[in-house]
Amino acid sequence: MAGEHEAAQALWYAAPGRAEIRPERLGPLATGSVRVRALHGAVSRGTEALIFNGRVPESEFQRMRAPFMAGDFPFPVKYGYATVGRVEAGPDDMLGHTVFTLHPHQTVFDVPAAGVVRLPEGVPPPRGVLAANMETALNAVWDVEPGRFRNVAVVGAGVLGALAGYLFSRLMSAAVTLVDIDPARAVLADALSLQFAAPGAAPGDRDLVVHTSASAKGLATALNLAGDEATVLELSWYGAGDVAVPLGGAFHSRRLKLISSQVGKVAPSHRATWTHRQRLAAALELLADARLDALLAPPIRFADLPAQLPKVLAPGSGVLCQRIEYP
């Protein structure tokens, strides 16, 4: 068992544009729980930028709560959901194992044993921080009709877009083009064996278009790339504010289908037979591919997060998956 008390540190979003590290005190480890010391983490740029800037809509305060978060929206909140660590205390069969958990950014913490999943062999701990995004991408694949799509465009070549494109290529053998305004994303596409195009040069008449850029222009591009009776899968989360959706033009004549996907619930196609834990375990297995290291930015120290987050989360920062290195 862990000692009576242990000191920890956690990142809190304290006010718009301001984060800070606060001390935490862990009590005795509860029965059925594990104590995890963080090794690696990752910042989810899209979601955490909205939280950092206070753009979570009041209507979503409850639905946006992440596992094990503390505080209340809009501020202060302890938020995050990508941590790889080592089990220091708990059931004997878990001691010393490297695990992934959907926990906020914190140096050491206690969670129920059911809240961690062991990293599979072949998945290095630093790459394991991609599990949460991979789980979202996997759910997106499940949210569309399997086997129907042969030509896919993904608008927005961030972490989620790249992983979605990777899975549609790998699991559905689709021809996938990543579409992004940043020409440097061509290097990422090549690393994942995908095609790349700028918005104005992207091939149209796609069977499926996946949108992840969280911008009105990106959504317009996605609709323009869709072929007759195609599906446009919206993976972006925009936060507070209205977004223009161009439903004029060819939207109706092409009989387009605009659907959403979100990771909070297992896709209906798999809900009867898959649990959240099983889906997360499957996402971890899918990370056993060294090509995915192309998504990982050089790490920053946990202690430097408050100072570095404004740059990491700024629009146009160019950062893909920002890794966190714990002491």
In this predicted structure, what is the pLDDT of residue 69?
97
In the prediction, which pLDDT does 242 show?
85
In a domain? residue 104: yes
- Establish if 20 belongs to a structural domain: yes
Q: How far apart are CA 304 and CA 136, in angstroms?
A: 28
141: domain CATH number? Answer: 3.40.50.720
Give the position of tokens 């996938």. 176
DSSP 136: H
Non-local CB neighbours of 277 within 8 Å, separated by 6+ positions: 114, 117
Q: What's residue 294's pLDDT?
A: 98
Taking the model in full, what pTM does it have? 0.95
CB 233 within 8 A of CB 167: no
Query: What local confidence, expressed as pLDDT, does residue 249 receive?
Result: 87
- Structural domain includes residue 230: yes
Residue 49 domain boundaries: 6-129+296-325
* In a shared domain, residues 177 and 253: yes
DSSP per residue, 97-129: -EEEE---SBSEEEEEGGGEEEPPTT--HHHHT
Predicted local confidence at residue 241, as pLDDT:
76
Length of the chain in terms of residues written:
327
Q: Along the chain (327 residues), what's the average pLDDT of each consecutive run of 10 residues?
A: 77 98 97 98 94 94 94 97 97 97 98 97 97 97 86 97 97 96 97 98 97 96 97 92 88 96 95 97 98 98 98 94 97
Whether the Cβ atoms of residue 16 and residue 75 lie closer than 8 Å to each other: yes
Examine the domain organization and report whether 184 and 256 are in the same domain: yes
CA distance 159 to 286: 15
Question: Are 119 and 138 within one domain?
Answer: no
85 shares a domain with 112: yes
pLDDT at 205: 97
| Predicted local confidence at residue 2, as pLDDT | 53
* Same domain for 94 and 39: yes
Asked whether 181 and 158 are in contact (CB, 8 A), the reply is no
In a domain, 90, yes or no: yes
- The pLDDT of residue 230 is 96
Give 242-251 contacts, CB < 8 A, sequence gap 24+. Answer: 243/216, 243/219, 244/216, 244/220, 245/216, 245/219, 246/219, 246/220, 249/223, 251/223
